[in-house]
Each structure stands twice: as C-alpha cells, then as structure tokens.
Amino acid sequence: MDSRASAFLVRLKANRWAYTVTIAATLAVGILLGTIVSSGVKGKEPKSSDATQLTVPAPQQLSNTFSQISKQLEPSVVNINTESTVKNPHVRRGAPGGQGGQGGQGDDQQDLFDRFFGGQGGQGGPGGDGSIRERSLGSGVIVDPKGYIVTNRHVVEKADRIRVKLQDDAAGVQHDAKLIGMDQETDLAVIKIDVDKPLPAAKMGNSESMQVGDWVLAVGSPFGLQETVTAGIVSAKGRNIVPGRQFQSFIQTDAAINPGNSGGPLVNMTGEVIGINTAIITETSTYAGVGFAMPSNTVVQVYNQLIAPDHRVVRGSIGVMFSAQESPAVARVYGGGSGVTLSNVVAGSPADEAGLKVGDTITAVDGKQVKVGDDLVSDIAVRKPGSKAKLTYLRNGNKSETMVTVGDRAKLFAARLGDEEASTDEDQPKPSKFGVTVRPISPELAERMSLTAGKGVIVTDVKQGSFADDIGVTRGDVILEVNKKVVNSADDFSRIESSLKSGQDVVFLVRQQGAGRQDGAIFLAGTLP
C-alpha cells in the first residue's frame, strides 16, 4: 500500500470517528431532552371520566329572513346588457391636450358621474368605420308581470341594443328590450320585454316608512355576477350628493353596491322595493361602504308618468332660482327669515308675471309653510302645468301674496337642462344638415362658462351618424364660430349652414360641455358629406 492510500484510510477512519461522535452526542441530547420533558408531565394520571366528549349539533336555521327575501326577490331582478356605438373614440370629452397642447380642466360633469355613478364602463372592439362597440352591464327589477322593468337611465342611455336575462333563462338566452322612457333628473328609466308568460313582479314599498338603522338588502348583478345579494342598513335618508341637483334625494346604505348593481332594487325586511340602487361614492370605482338608492316613492311617481302615452315626466315650475345651501347672512340682509330667498327670476316665467323679484322670500304655498328650497321644489314640481298656486312672500320685511300659474319645468329651463326632455316634439326645431339642433344660451350658462351674453348657441341634440356626430360634437357643447364666422343666435347658425355645400371643409369653434372658466375653446373639423 503506497503512502497516498495510507493517508486516505487514516482520514476515512478519522471522519468515521467524528461522525460516530456526532451521532452519539445528538442521541445524548435527545435522551436528555426526553428526560426533561417527561419529567415535566409526570404526576397524577388524568382520569378519562373527567373529560366530556364534543358533539356536533343537528343542523338548524337560526334566522331565515334574509334567505326568504332573497328567494322571493331574485326571480324579479334581471341582468341588463347594453351595446352602443361610440364615434371617434379617440376624442375624449375634456381630455387634456385636446388642441395645440392646451390642457383642460376636464369634464366636471363626467368627473361627477364617474365619482358618484362609477362611470358607464364596459368593453368592446373597433368597428370598420373607426368607431367602437361598447358593452356595459347593469341590473333592473320587474314591476309588472307584462314585462315592464325599472332601471337606471345611465344603464340604458344611448344604447343601440338592450338585452335582458331572466333568472330562469338558460345560458346564452336573452330577451331584446325596448326603451319606454327615461328621466334625466332622477336617472330612472323604464324598459319592456315581450314574453309569452306572466313574469314575477316585485312589490313596491313606501320609502318614507324606512328609518335610519333599518335592515335592507341590495339585489343585482355586480360585475355581471347575477343573483347577488348583499345586506346592510339604512345609513341616512334625504342625502343630496350633488350640490344643487334637484329631485335626487337618496337613501344612503352600507349594503355593498358595485358596478353592475345600478338599477337593481334595495328591499326592506318584508321584501318590498324601497329604492333603486343608483350611485356610490368611491375612489376606486368599487364598493367603499357608501351607496345610494333612489327612494321608491320617487320611483313610483316617475314610473307612472313614463308608462303614460307621452312617455315623459312633466314637472311644474314657476321659474325661480335660489341658493342650494342655506345662508343666515342672506336671511339677515334680505330680511327673509324662514323661507326661500330668490336669487333669480326667469324673464317671462310664471313668477315674473306674478310680480316676484330677486330678493323676495317665499314663505308658503297655498298656506303650507316652506322652509327650504327642497320644500318649494317638491310642492311645485308635482303640480300640473296650468294649475294655480297662491304664494306668500316677504319683500323688505313686508308680507304679500300673489297667484301664480304653474309652468312646465322642462320648457322654462330648456337651455339649462340641455336634454331631449327639454321640449316636446311639436316645438323642437328639426335637425340641421350638420345633424345638430341648437338653442340660444341662457344668461346663467353664459356666466357659468365665462361667455359673453348672447354669444354662441348650445347644442341640444346630435343626430347619430351625422356630420357633427362624426367630428365629435356632443349635446351640451357651445358652438361659438363656424368657419371663422361668429354665431350669435340660432338664426346665425342656420344662415351659415345654408351657405355651405357638400365637399366643403367645416370648422366649428366649440366650448365643450362641462368646460370651466379656465378651459379654452377647441376646433372640431371635417368635410361636409
């Protein structure tokens, strides 16, 4: 055996000895620990008779109220899918850098919509003409066995196709629905599907009977997940989430409401619909603990008018404006005390004809006291145009009375509302060759947009697929110039339009809807077909 082999055997024996010592030490430690542990538990042996065996109780329903209501309501709650075509998807209303790198402040109205209503969202693909098809989801509740469904206006607005899925429908089966009518001011709409059998209809309840702290359930299709039920309580009543917005006094709840719940019912513990889930306050477009439902008493009033032959909601008005927030300073300066102090009286309105002036404080209608603006609006709005009302008011501290003839709110505030409900078909001007209908700008809107009074016209309607629609003009935009010619009236607009022919370039100088004082005008241009 050479020296290298001898050295290897020596190292092997040494390693084996070290390994053996290590194992022995480990065993010794283990034995020692075992001794210590065993010595710690030594003592009196426990008697098995001292221990009681655990048992599993028989199944029982501790509370079935929620489940009973869910089973009762779910067949009446539907999933709504809509499709709409969006022209010029690259044009985003109020987007920064829209023209010549001049940033804007954004569309304030759309920001409010996104914050409170979660936006309309959806998905879609491009069309052959550069447009895109948008799809969105929502909910609704059947209120008539014949197929009438209540939902939110923002769920079905501008939809090219509305489809409804019932609870017992097979996968992929949907029913085409037609729009019966919608109301801008309450964000409510009525649609209808035709079926060959009576449908399960939900029962409407009285929202005034609800108290803060009462249990409620929200039913709908959040994120398209049909037949979803969430529970919560009434957190508050009479909540106004957009300052100055009339007819939107909500029930607040902490029942989870998410995108897709819009239009679904909020129900009480007897299974009655006491609200239509409409809005959420959130920074993430998902549930944050605060949701809002339009009270059922308002829903019933709007529904009954939308299913009538005219399919529109008519509200009374006397043509006055006032501060949304009460101010003790105003009362002290104008000597009004309790009541509604007028900040504006529309020229030619019923209030103007009745002799009311700015600074007058209305204290009663037909002898019924009004303390805040909502009291006055609620009383007058339900009256039919043409009816009479006796107003009690204070002027310079002196009490007076006058009779007023109630007018149609939509007509009195047509320019300010800027909606298709602003006038009837009989008095609505026909769309131009540009595909738009325009009206003069009200002094209030001109001031709000920092425009010179009498300059420009407001777009009240845009025909789908028209020239104006293609270049990005939308309802609510203010047209200031056409091909460098100033537009001071609807007649100016029509005169300029009639002088243009097919194939000519047309450039609109436009202040976009929702633009503030710091936002500049932009150009919207194209070639007239």
* Cα separation, 477 vs 508, whole angstroms: 11
What is the arithmetic mean of pLDDT over 443-451? 67
Structure confidence at residue 366 (pLDDT): 93
What is the arithmetic mean of pLDDT over 276-305? 87
Domain at 431-527, CATH from 3.40.630.30, 3.40.710.10, 3.90.1280.20, 2.30.42.10: 2.30.42.10
Structure confidence at residue 16 (pLDDT): 46
pLDDT top residue among 323 and 88: 323
Structure confidence at residue 427 (pLDDT): 36
Which part of the chain is CATH 2.40.10.120? Answer: 75-313
Q: How confident is the model at residue 304 (pLDDT cuts 50, 70, 90)?
A: very high
pLDDT top residue among 404 and 469: 404
Q: How confident is the model at residue 359 (pLDDT cuts 50, 70, 90)?
A: confident
Of 271-275, 392-396, 439-443, 470-474, least confident by mean pLDDT is 439-443
Structure tokens at 209: 């009977």
Q: How confident is the model at residue 326 (pLDDT cuts 50, 70, 90)?
A: low
Question: What share of the chain in percent tops pLDDT 90?
Answer: 27
Give the list of residues 6+ apart from residue 481 with CB closer than 8 angstroms, or none. Answer: 487, 507, 508, 509
Of 56-70, 247-261, 420-434, least confident by mean pLDDT is 420-434
What is the arithmetic mean of pLDDT over 58-63? 65
What is the arithmetic mean of pLDDT over 428-432? 48
Q: How confident is the model at residue 325 (pLDDT cuts 50, 70, 90)?
A: low
Per annotation, catalytic residue among 154, 221, 296, 360: 154
C-beta separation of 446 from 452 below 8 A:
yes
Of 34-43, 303-312, 330-339, 471-480, least confident by mean pLDDT is 34-43
Q: How confident is the model at residue 61 (pLDDT cuts 50, 70, 90)?
A: low
Is 311 a known active-site residue?
no
* Cα separation, 65 vs 116, whole angstroms: 31
Structure confidence at residue 86 (pLDDT): 60
Q: Note the pLDDT tens digit of each residue in 183-195.
A: 988 999 999 999 9
* Cα separation, 52 vs 142, whole angstroms: 55
Per annotation, catalytic residue among 107, 183, 187, 492: 187
pLDDT top residue among 26 and 483: 483
Mean residue pLDDT of the chain comes to 76
| pLDDT surpassing 60 at residue 412 | yes
What is the arithmetic mean of pLDDT over 439-463? 74
pLDDT top residue among 97 and 300: 300
Is 466 a known active-site residue?
no
Of 185, 157, 94, 158, which Cα lies nearest the Cα of 513? 94
Structure confidence at residue 337 (pLDDT): 66
Of 41-45, 51-55, 348-352, 476-480, least confident by mean pLDDT is 41-45
Prediction pTM value: 0.60
Per annotation, catalytic residue among 84, 207, 249, 262: 262
Domain at 75-313, CATH from 3.30.365.10, 1.10.287.110, 2.60.120.200, 2.40.10.120: 2.40.10.120
Is 262 a known active-site residue?
yes
C-beta separation of 423 from 412 below 8 A:
no
- Give DSSP secondary structure letters for 20-81: HHHHHHHHHHHHHHHHHHHHHH-SSPPPGGG-----PPPP--S--HHHHHHHHHGGGEEEEE
| pLDDT surpassing 60 at residue 132 | no
Of 24-38, 74-88, 185-199, 388-402, least confident by mean pLDDT is 24-38
SS3 call for 428: coil
Which part of the chain is CATH 2.30.42.10? Answer: 316-411, 431-527
Distances (CA, A) of 410 to 222, 403, 413, 424: 34, 21, 5, 9
Q: Which residue intervals of 129-173 are DSSP H helices?
A: 153-156
Structure confidence at residue 334 (pLDDT): 67
Q: Tell me phi and psi for residue 163, to 5 degrees.
A: -125, 145
Question: What share of the chain in percent tops pLDDT 70?
Answer: 70
Structure confidence at residue 503 (pLDDT): 86
Structure confidence at residue 152 (pLDDT): 93
What is the arithmetic mean of pLDDT over 409-432? 52
What is the arithmetic mean of pLDDT over 482-495? 87
CATH of segment(s) 316-411? 2.30.42.10
Q: Note the pLDDT tens digit of each residue in 73-127.
A: 899 999 999 887 665 544 433 332 333 332 333 344 444 444 444 444 444 555 5
